Structure 1
Amino acid sequence: MNKIEYLQQIDAKIASGKFKDNWTSLREFVVPAWYQQAKFGIFIHWGVYSVPAYDSEWYPRNMYIQGSKAYEHHLKVYGDHKEFGYKDFIPMFKAEKFDADEWATLFKQAGARYVMPVAEHHDGFQMYKSSISHYNTYEMGPKRDLLGEMKAAYEKQGLTFCVSSHRAEHWFFMSHGRQFDSDIQDPMQYGDFYWPAMPEPDHQDLNGSPPSVEYLEDWLIRCCELVDEYQPSVFYFDWWIHTAAFKPYLKKFAAYYYNKGEEWGIPVAINYKHDAFMFGAAVPDVERGQFAELKPYFWQTDTAVARNSWCYTENNHYKSAEEIIRDLVDIVSKNGSLLLNIGPRADGTIPDEDRNILLQIGKWLEVNGEAIYDTSFWRTYGEGPTVVKEGQFTDGDTKAFTQEDIRFTVKGSSLYAAVMVYPDHGVVRIRSLREGSPHFHGIIKKIQVLGFEEQPDWERNENALSITTTRVKSDAPVVFKIDLD
């Protein structure tokens, strides 16, 4: 199918479907129930940028910025940019040890309910078989449809398959290579891989450096091809789609995708950042950050096991599993879901650090998952002195949770209270459940500690619900299951 035919197909699906390409229609979107219940997913940044394994997944941009550490590193290790450019990493991206079933087993053990590989990052290299570009893993590098293999493996394990597209930023991503004698001087020399390499805009200017119609149509078709060929249940977008030029094409994509979901009988959703979508037309995502308070709408945060990079680098600075578990508990208590990123090596192996973190999270969820999966928020998300900083890029530092910080979820007739840092003395005081509390006037039937055989002692007065244990010890959050009448 040529470009004109594909665009006509997109318009025809919008014309005949329930959803139209306007915000009024798109706000009829309903968040899928499975998505709200899943709570925990895996994000995967893996691509050609995993070969140099330096700096971050922005290496293809930064290696062309003269004077940057990535530029100097490239000169030292690979030589002159005209002789060895980013394209020359493609044959080195072999994925020779990649086993989709092995990945799926690990993600299942981690307790994830959905998995979201990056199908195309800013570098413009597609991790799947495509009819739009020759620069993809089926024709180059591994010579395999990596995304297709992942979809089959994940769905076999009962994991919901999703995809992510970061294509929008490719408009300017390779542009710095035009400023000196590099292999990007003539972008079209390497087809659509380096094209268009336009000047990088001020990222705060929503109207600056608008992409051409040709580029926007190409972007739309690439996104719709992913929908048609891989049927993802969630489609994630990175930033820059919130700029003015993308708005008409975003609406077209959303209408097309939502109508395809109706056709498949599979409830689907879109993730977005900033205000790319009208509120209520998709699911908002907070990059590397959280909300300070409970939200009445479902939301997602995406963050990574490493603080410094989304992809694998040789010097990743990792978070602890306990820190990530606390974030998961906090996010779920506020009506959110955690999408946690890992970065595999270029050969397809998952680093031990990533693997161990996932397995530790899975071990905790195996015991405490009933307080996470299929739960909803309570009247208050929690209590305690720690204030979570709100907004994106706020997870650089470990949050200093205390033994007074407690988070709540609810399911059926059970209220779950997760103590973020369990006290050595074994006494927990929950003020939100005190007699006369504005949050609770009911009857407590029974209290148990998930994962421990000890039956705690408890009493309730006008100050707090006090729970006492003598043998409960844990570096991760401890969950009390409180049965109500």
Structure 2
Amino acid sequence: MVRSFFFLILFFLPFHLLHAQPNVHPQSNEYEWPSDPAVKKKLDKWQDRKFGMIIHWGLYAVPGMIESWALCSEDWIERDSTQSYDDFKKWYWGLSRKFDPVKFNPEQWAKAGKDAGMKYLVFTTKHHDGFCMFDTKQTDFSIAKGPFAGNARADVAKYVFDAFRKQDFMIGAYFSKPDWHTEYYWWPKYATPDRNNNYDIRKHPWRWNKYKEYTFNQVGELMHHYGPVDILWLDGGWVRPLETVNEEVRSWGAAIPAWSQDIDMPKIASMARSAQPGILIVDRTVHGPYENYQTPEQRIPEKQIGHPWESCMTLGNAWGYVANDQYKSASQVIHSLIEIVAKGGSLLLGVGPGADGTIPSEAVRRLEEIGKWTSLNGEAIYNTRITRNYNDGDAWFTQSKDGKKCFAMVCLKEGAAMPGKVSWKGNIPKKGSRMVLLETGKAVKWNTDGSAVNVSLPASLKASPALAFSFDVN
């Protein structure tokens, strides 16, 4: 994952301090709808799901630090000034000899996701540091080759995918296009000044072709040996054809080399869809045929968007595991989910297991709290589509796919007493229709006053993050 926009300050070691990288993955209006019928069908299925879990888990879980980025020598990253950069990299790479997640429990992860009401998974098979969370044959730098090698579940991705499939999740494989560990991307002959490959591809085409082969083979392993995969989620948008670099990319503030970091996405996509027909490919920020949905990061777009997208956001402040992380409240997450769905998107919520292989208990509790709401009000979230009038103050609106039923979701202030009534303007129910409060399944009284809809609430209602109603529309 590229750095969090709202990543305030994270102490991942007592002496390592990182600052936020601004302008990461903004929303774009440039979108190309897929033409393949199988991809269209898969995309429609994904748009029904609305709520997913992204899991960052790798070497960075051992010290509980920022994922991969400490390796990158850019001016927004700070490290201990008494340690050389080379020594830091050696220390970081050496974490592979300590990563032994003896309590690895993907069933716990999948249960926590299901309990929250999540419907799809994106799992980091490899982040930018190049450490593989699957049994790749292309490198020994993987979870299956270190101290965890003797464990029956050493091929971690396989068991993660299996656990989530058993809970009826769509399966997504996160894969980093850059790989800072392999000499085909960061050649030890040269320094590693930033996130880009560190040699001129035009002068060393053989080396870059080896990197393209390396990348193709690793994606091929994931596509052919890990069961049905619904989403290939590709991160590291600076690895792209030079001609696709636009003002949006320049706004990231990162260096842009004079050569093209083209890994031949048409070839990768063709192979992936031969192995996994209809698979969604999410080549983040590289607009065109291989960006089947867009992924604004740590933010919600200002307005409703008609093409497919998801907001990828963290449950805490960090993508991966960090000790004593501060988690968002269930109300915050639910309010974000409601707004995102009303604007036409999905919420992909980030959770980071610890080095032992379990999700922290506080994160599990948050997910359970979120699930108490989604289990009662999910009809207004799942399998819905956007409405023309999608928002009025604290009220957000969706509709059933057939357009016959409208849903109103009214966000309530956290900690406030339950009001006696709620109101909104627009989306007036059909005259004489029955309005149902989803959390009780019972009808509620309503009336109109001009363009306003007023709904009386039962006195017995307990505090809730939001109230959801269903009603017929004209």
Which interval holds the TM-score relative to the shorter structure?
Answer: 0.7 to 0.9
Q: Could you say which residue in structure 1 is the equivalent of 2:455?
A: 467
Separation in 1, partners of 2:89, 2:398: 58
Shift of 1:39: 0.7
**How many Å separate the matches in 2 of 1:380 and 1:66?**
44
The one-character-per-residue Cα deviations of 1:338-382 (angstroms, maximum 9, x if unpaired) are 111101101101112211121111111111111111111122222
In 2, the alpha carbon distance for the partners of 1:354 and 1:255 equals 38
Looking at structure 1, the residues matched to 102 and 201 of structure 2 have their Cα atoms a distance apart, in angstroms, of 39
Alignment CA distance shift 1:139-1:270 (3 Å):
same
Report what 2:256 is aligned to. none
Q: Which residue of 2 aligns with 1:227?
A: 223
Matched, 1:47 2:45: no
* Contact 1:45–1:310 under 8 Å retained in 2: yes
Consecutive unaligned residues in structure 2, runs of 5 or more: 1-30, 243-259
CA 1:337–1:209: 2 relative to 1, 3 Å: farther
Normalised TM-score (structure 2):
0.77
Question: Which of 137, 142, 152 in structure 2 is aligned with 1:136?
Answer: 142
Q: 1:44 to 1:25 in 2, by over 3 A?
A: closer
CA shift, 1:271, in A, is 1.7
Matching residue of 1:254 = 269
Distance in 1, Cα, partners of 2:367 & 2:136: 31
Q: Any conservation in 1 of the 2:284–2:291 contact (CA below 8 Å)?
A: no
Any conservation in 1 of the 2:229–2:276 contact (CA below 8 Å)? no
1:415-470, CA deviations, whole angstroms, 9 ceiling, x for partnerless residues?
A: 11000126743322221135xxxxx8x43511121213764321113231111214
Task: Choose from 313, 331, 351 the match for 2:340.
Answer: 331
Aligned residue in 2 for 1:421: 412
- Alignment map for 1:276-287 (pairs within 5 Å): 276-278=286-288, 282-287=292-297
- Residue 106 of structure 2 corresponds to 100
Match of 1:357 in 2: 366
Contact 1:202 1:208 in 2 (8 A): no
Matches of 1:361 and 1:428 in 2, distance apart? 22
Q: Is contact 1:36-1:337 (8 Å) kept?
A: yes
Q: In structure 2, how many angstroms separate the alpha carbons of the residues matched to 1:371 and 1:456?
A: 16
3-state SS, counterpart of residue 212 of structure 1: helix
Change (3 A) 1:70 1:312: farther
Pair 1:407-2:397 in alignment? yes
Q: In structure 2, what is the equivalent of residue 214 of structure 1?
A: 210
Residues 226-281 of structure 1 deviation map (CA, whole Å, 9 limit, x = unaligned): 1112242101111223452344611221222223333xxxx32012322x131685
Structure 1 partner of 2:49: 38
Counterpart secondary structure, 1:357: helix
Paired amino acid for 2:192: P
Partner of residue 299 from structure 1, selected from 301, 305, 309: 309
Please, which moves more after superposition, 289-298 or 331-340?
A: 289-298
Q: C-alpha separation between the residues in 1 aligned to 2:349 and 2:89?
A: 37
Partner of 1:433: 427
Residue 372 of structure 1 is aligned with which of 377, 381, 398?
Answer: 381
Deviations 1:376-398 (A, max 9, x none): 112222222xxxxxxxxxxxxxx
- C-alpha distance in structure 2 between counterparts of 1:375 and 1:89, whole Å: 44
The TM-score with structure 1 as length reference comes to: 0.75
What is the SS of the residue equivalent to 1:162? strand
**Corresponding position of 1:177:** none
The answer to whether the Cα contact below 8 Å between 1:60 and 1:123 also exists between their aligned partners in 2 is no
Structure 1 partner of 2:436: 448
Partner amino acid for 1:99? N
Which range is displaced more, 98-107 or 359-368? 98-107
- Change over 3 Å in CA distance of 1:278–1:330 after alignment to 2: same
Matched with 1:113 is: 119
**Larger deviation: 334-343 or 250-259?**
250-259
The Cα offsets for residues 270-306 of structure 1, whole Å up to 9 and x where unpaired, read as 12322x1316852111111222222221111211112
User: What secondary structure is seen at the aligned counterpart in 1 of 2:174?
Assistant: strand
In 2, Cα distance between equivalents of 1:196 and 1:251: 31
Separation in 2 of the partners of 1:194 and 1:363? 50
Task: Identify the match of residue 330 of structure 2 among 321, 325, 332.
Answer: 321
**Alignment CA distance shift 1:246-1:257 (3 Å):** farther
Q: How many residues align?
A: 408
Per-residue Cα deviation, 1:76-122 (whole angstroms, up to 9, x for no partner): xxx99279621221121111001222222222112111111100001
Q: Distance in 2 between matches of 1:249 and 1:26?
A: 18
Judge conservation of contact 2:32–2:289 (CA < 8 Å) in 1. no
Shift of residue 52, structure 1, vs aligned partner: 1.1
State the distance in 2 between where 1:133 and 1:41 align: 30
Unpaired segments of 5 or more residues in structure 1?
1-22, 175-186, 385-403, 435-439
Instruction: Indicate the residue corresponding to 1:147 in structure 2.
Output: 157
Identity among equivalent positions (%) equals 24
The residue aligned with 1:9 is none
Alpha carbons of structure 1 residues 426 and 310: separation in structure 2 relative to 1, 3 Å: same
Note if contact 2:239-2:263 (Cα within 8 Å) is conserved in structure 1: no
